[in-house]
Amino acid sequence: MEDKIIINFENVNISHEGNPVLDNVNFKIKSGDFVYIIGRVGSGKTSLIRAINGEISVNEATTAQAVDFDLKTLKPKAVHLLRRKLGVVFQDFKLLTDRSVFENLAFVLRATDWKDKKKIAERINEVLDSVELRSKLHKMPHQLSGGEQQRVAIARALLNNPMLLLADEPTGNLDPETSDKIMEILFDLNSKLGITIIMATHNHTLLKKYPAQTYKCDKGNITKIDDTEEIDFEYFG
């Protein structure tokens, strides 16, 4: 059986606030893929993720499909339906600082129509187990390390069993040892649970240590790099 296509971009132009960012994007991701988007800061990595997430409208394209949605015809009132099929992990965690880990996760489930308290608790325990943090269930964000906060953010992204996990510089605020732990968790989610992951990064060390499919944003274009050994790591500066 052929793998399901999760992302299919053909001749997609991406602009932000009227300014062209990426031109003629051709980008196809299959179910179960782990894909890096690399490039300097400002090269378009985040704009690509925001286009997939429905934050940036896609108006010019031959094909622009993401998790069964046509982004060319997606109405603003339907964006929330697209996002229910996605999980997003941000560089700066975006946890609610006045709520415990449990309440941070319960808030997301209640906002997506979960009603049963027992099922909510069960699902929260499941996702925290997947990031090895069930023991922190009742901690407040300020009581957690940066790496633990990012693991909670990953757990939050998994709550509704997304077809695709988008990770935008998830190790950007973390030290190398903590970054390794985050990468191990992401690769486990990909290999053991089959979760499709797109990760934007400009951390060349991670690419060397955890190789995977790689696309490069540069000068308004995105190109696939067939062999990560050929990446010019001086490019990252």
Query: Highest mean pLDDT: which of 8-17, 33-42, 95-104, 200-209?
Result: 95-104
- The mean pLDDT of 175-190, rounded to a whole number, is 94
Q: What are the tokens at 186? A: 């992401």
User: Would you tell me how many other CB atoms lie within 10 Å of the CB of residue 98?
Assistant: 10
Spell out the long-range contacts of 123-131 with Cβ–Cβ below 8 A and sequence spacing 24 or more: 123/159, 124/155, 124/159, 127/155, 127/156, 127/158, 127/159, 128/101, 128/152, 128/155, 130/155, 130/158, 130/185, 130/189, 130/193, 131/155, 131/185
pLDDT band at 205 (very low <50, low <70, confident <90, very high): confident
pLDDT at position 234 over 70:
no
* Cα 150 to Cα 99: distance, rounded to the nearest angstrom: 15
Share the mean pLDDT of the chain: 91
In this predicted structure, the answer to whether residue 24 has a pLDDT above a threshold of 60 is: yes
Give the tens place of pLDDT for each residue, 213-222.
999 999 899 9
Domain locations in the chain? 5-85+162-236
pLDDT for 29 beyond 60: yes
* Tokens found for residue 149: 């906060």
Whole-number pLDDT of residue 125? 96
Q: Helical H runs in 56-175?
A: 79-83, 101-111, 117-130, 146-158
Bridge pairing between strands 19-30 and 5-16: antiparallel
For domain 5-85+162-236, say whether CATH 3.40.50.720 is its number: no
- How confident is residue 1, by pLDDT bands cut at 50, 70 and 90? very low
Angle between helices 146-158 and 117-130 (to 10 degrees): 130
Task: Name the burial class of residue 115, with classes exposed (0-12), middle (13-18) and buried (19+) by CB atoms within 10 angstroms of its CB.
Answer: exposed
| Model confidence pLDDT, tens digit, residues 68-88 | 999 999 999 999 999 999 999
pLDDT at 227: 67
Nearest Cα to Cα of residue 156 among 206, 80, 86, 82? 86
For 189-200, write each residue's pLDDT tens digit.
999 999 999 999
pLDDT tens sequence across 129-161: 999 999 999 999 999 999 999 999 999 999 999
